A and B are shown apart, each in its own frame.
Chain A
């Protein structure tokens, strides 16, 4: 298993490439828009990318095991709907229920992938379609359900000192995920399974368990993203919440330098990737370019990142 034997140089070059892009984007934004470099605006960008970051961290774990999770957007919607439905029973029940639903769906995804040996793209595609429908059925097709709750309001809009609560929470989650990946046996197993599942199995790693957990992690992180998004909107919108977020999460992971072939996870790169995408979106927004063109630009960024990744792999 080539985990630690590879020099980390390649990883740092990738991260610095992404970091460089980020600096350029910041500079371009700062020049083009007058009030871009203000704390309030930077925090705003931070808040906008938090949901993507949660989802993308889960995606990084999944991609590190050579998988893919297309169901994250629908999980966000479903957890948002469950949150709003359980709210009358108390905020703890609502938060717990939303989180449990996401984790459970993720675990089912993992089960289907490992136990039945079905391709991750097909499994999560099917759950993505079905769960969006389930979310819509639960709200009975009513487009938006609004509500008021002080705890949710704090999650969505509160601050700890100057730091928005959700930004602080996201930072803590990132550190926890990083430690989990680098310093725990489970983290090692995730990378081992992605590097060579057969070798990992022979070495005594329970591949099915590890992969199942990874999809469960992706599901629960998506559920948290759904909770944060719901808290920010003070409403649930079964059709819109989490729509197309899987694309952003995959894009951020690829841009961040995590290889699609598995075996390595560059969590820090994924975070940078999220900020690159966020800055592109907000920059285009401030320049009054229609979002449709932003989609085209994002696609080009993904292609560029994927092809440079492929080129590097060939040279290794």
Chain B
């Protein structure tokens, strides 16, 4: 976005420097934190900065990465999508169910289904004017219900013959894990769409001020619908990769991922309520979250329930920190 008053403040020595430091923290704080965490972890644990460990961290977090990319679009447009965790499970179930018909049917069927559900989310929000939070909450409950009812709360194994499906989760291209490749490609597309296409600009505009965007003649309804469809599609990709990785689809998969995705987006520096941030920031957020919990695991001795507590506290700390920084920035700009 534009940076007003920067030109005038530059001349004023220490004050300008402090201001620029603040601005740097707001825009690159998470990247700085990532570098710090990686540096400390490398010094502490010899096993940390190895191709094997880093590959594992990225592979483990790639599924959440897809979901978080979708959440980035939604949050940038000023909305929220709570249904993604359930859609991950549903997509996995569909993929496993269709896997006997071959990988392509499984992958396409699963992603098509969750894209359609995302589109319905958008339609409920745009046309029935239901608040995003309530509409996607309902989809979250219903989606989880369908996933559970699908096979009487049992898991569905995916067919071994669906080798491409398995490759998406477990495969590799040379030294690079397949899901990580796919993730990088997805974020590449995400960055281009958000930064260089009219659609991307419109997403920012709606998040910044939907009323103004509408008065400017932007097709607000269509864009919002599309945003939720994208979120559904990427949750579908996450579910497909997860099923490929585990070789089995679990109806309880993805529980709580909607929160992790929101946390990753915010941790990256995208502002809740929209208008500012982007796909690159989210990728930083996803990797940072993944590395943090990898370090916690390397520390050992921290029970999974403590990790849950830390996860919640971290989310809160991120938002409070963001909020404070923004307030300080506003004061500095005045």
Contacts and interface: CB of A to CB of B under 8 A. Distances in A.
Interface string B295-316: 0000000010111110111011
Interface in A266-316: 290-296, 298-300, 302-303, 306-307, 310-311, 313-314
Contact of B309 (A133, A293, A298): A133
B323 A137 contact: no
Contacts of A121: 80, 133
A295 B145 contact: yes
Nearest to B322: A118
A132 B255 CA distance: 14
Contact of B128 (A126, A128, A298, A310): A310
B124 A299 contact: no
A126 B138 contact: no
Nearest to B133: A121
Q: Size band of the A side of the interface?
A: 35 or more
A291 B146 CA distance: 10
A313 B130 CA distance: 11
Contacts of A306: 128, 130-131, 134-135, 138
B139 A299 contact: yes
Contact of B149 (A116, A247, A293): A293
Contacts of B141: 247, 295-296, 298-299, 302
Given A121-B80, A126-B316, A296 B137 contact: no
Contacts of B147: 292
A123 B124 contact: no
Which residue, B80, B137, B139, B153, has most C-beta atoms of chain A within 10 A? B137
A126 B312 contact: yes
Chain B: interface size category: 35 or more
Contacts of B303: 137, 141
B138 A118 contact: no
Contacts, number: 133
Given A116-B320, A118-B320, A310-B129, A129 B311 contact: yes
Chain A residues touching B, majority SS: helix
Contacts of A311: 128-129
Given A292-B146, A302-B134, A122 B139 contact: no
Contacts of A313: 129
Nearest to B127: A307
Contacts of A314: 129
Interface in A101-124: 112, 116-119, 121-123
Contacts of B194: none
Given A126-B316, A129-B259, A295-B144, A119 B305 contact: no
B137 A292 contact: no
B218 to A, nearest CB: 21
Contact of B313 (A126, A141, A292, A302): A126
A149 B139 CA distance: 41
A131 B312 CA distance: 8
Contact of B130 (A136, A290, A307): A307
A141 B147 CA distance: 27
A52 interface: no
Nearest to B146: A296
A152 B326 CA distance: 49
A261 to B, nearest CB: 9
Which of A128, A133, A294 is packed against the most chain B CB atoms within 10 Å?
A133
Given A292-B153, A295-B144, A295-B145, A129 B131 contact: no
A5 to B, nearest CB: 24
Interface of B is mostly: helix
A270 B324 CA distance: 37
Contacts of A68: 133
A254 interface: yes
A134 interface: yes
A299 B142 contact: yes
B127 to A, nearest CB: 9
Contacts of B315: 122, 125-126, 129
A109 to B, nearest CB: 10
A136 B124 contact: no
A130 interface: yes
Q: Which of B133, B306, B307, B311 has the most CB of A within 10 A?
A: B133
Nearest to A134: B309
Given A292-B145, A292-B148, A300-B142, A128 B312 contact: yes
A250 interface: yes
Taking each of A68, A260, A295, which has the highest tally of chain B beta carbons within 10 Å of its own beta carbon?
Answer: A295
Contacts of B316: 112, 118, 122-123, 126-127, 130
A37 B237 CA distance: 49
A260 B129 contact: no
Given A119-B272, A137-B303, A299-B141, A310 B149 contact: no
B130 A303 contact: yes
Interface string A157-190: 0000000000000000000000000000000000
Contacts of B2: none
Contacts of B153: 290, 292
Contacts of A136: 305, 308
Given A118-B319, A306-B134, A311-B128, 9 more contacts: A116-B324, A119-B319, A260-B134, A292-B147, A295-B144, A299-B138, A302-B134, A302-B138, A303-B128
- The 3 residue pairs across chains A and B that have the minimum distance between CB atoms: A295-B145, A130-B312, A129-B312
12 contacts: A122-B262, A123-B319, A128-B312, A130-B309, A133-B308, A136-B305, A137-B305, A250-B137, A260-B131, A295-B148, A302-B141, A306-B138
